[in-house]
Amino acid sequence: MEQIEHKHVEVSGLKLHVAELGTGPKAVLFLHGFPEIWYSWRHQMVAAAAAGYRAIAFDFRGYGLSQHPPEPEKASFYDLVADVVGVMDSLGIIKAFLVGKDFGAFPAFLVAGLHPWRVCGVITLGIPFMPPGVHVLPMHLLPKGFYVLRWLICRSEPGRAEADFGRFDVKTVIRNIYMLFCGSELQVASDEQEIMDLADPFAPLPPWFTEEDLNVYSSLYENSGFRTALHFPYRTVPQDYGLKDPKITAPGMLIMGEKDYVLKFPGMEEYIKSERVKEFMPNLEIIFHEEGNHFIQEQLPEEVNQLLTTFLNKHST
């Protein structure tokens, strides 16, 4: 971990924090989700670099050590596409493998769709490709107290999520979200509850997530806060982003944990296991891990690293 180099690059007028390890001719760009940060890829960066790749993880705009956009509420996922392409350009990378987790999967898919010549392959964890504008899941069947819907309701109940988070210090918020998200059930609050109320404050951290890890995440979110994090991914307006043909032809791999709560989204398990997702991503390999949860790359790093390096080596020829 000490060998990881840190710097800032300027993209679209914003200074983005970049972590880098390795000097191989092929690059791998890791894209974090929420409540994660570049640090969530620490195990995979070491593995990719050891396998001869240039491993890069950065904080999206408004996350961790990266600069906030002037008006985060006006930003869209297309701005995250600009972050990915801009980081590649700043580092002199013409083409890269993209590895996305949680909402980080969306800009990975969009870059592969909008700029296919920049992408060697796409690996995502926990999120399959769901083309913008194509309703592949009956999302209207989600329970109204589900956390995504609670954090989305900034227009009807502005500030509700912010008030929920604001009752606790940053470390407690990160701890609560990690504990809730590593479960296998949807996080649903009653009308009298807020999402933070669902967390058990006395539950021990899982063995794969140490107090030191929690401190690293907390320090980074103390720097950035949650303003941009609540906008990305929860409050962005869905768009087609100019994807005329909603297909990704680059080699792909989807890694899903059988205990990832995302599989409880209405229709999600059927969409993946029936391989209907391959209608939109025909060159996709699907891997299920029986014990994997939403944070599978941190929970089971050796297994994920093996899948990662095997895929990279297979498609680097």
How far, in Å, CA of 187 to CA of 200, rounded? 13
What is the rounded CA–CA span in Å between residue 255 and residue 126? Answer: 6
What separation in angstroms does the CA of 239 have from each of 34, 57, 179, 211, 243? 21, 26, 31, 39, 9
Catalytic member of 63, 221, 234, 271: 234
What is the b/e burial string over 105-144, where b = at least 16 CB atoms within 10 angstroms of the residue's CB?
bbbbbbbbbbeeebbbbbbbbbbbbbbbeeebbeeeebee
- 96's CB contacts (< 8 A; 6+ apart) are 26, 27, 28, 29, 56, 88, 118, 119, 120
Catalytic site includes residue 102: yes
Which position among 102, 147, 271, 289 bears the catalytic label? 102
For residues 204 and 231, give the distance between their C-alpha atoms in angstroms, rounded to a whole number.
29
Please indicate whether residue 234 is annotated as part of the active site.
yes
Quick one: which of 197, 185, 186 has its CA closest to 160? 197
Bridge partners of 97, per DSSP, are 28, 121
| Active-site option among 17, 43, 289, 294 | 294
- Catalytic residue ranges: 102, 234, 294
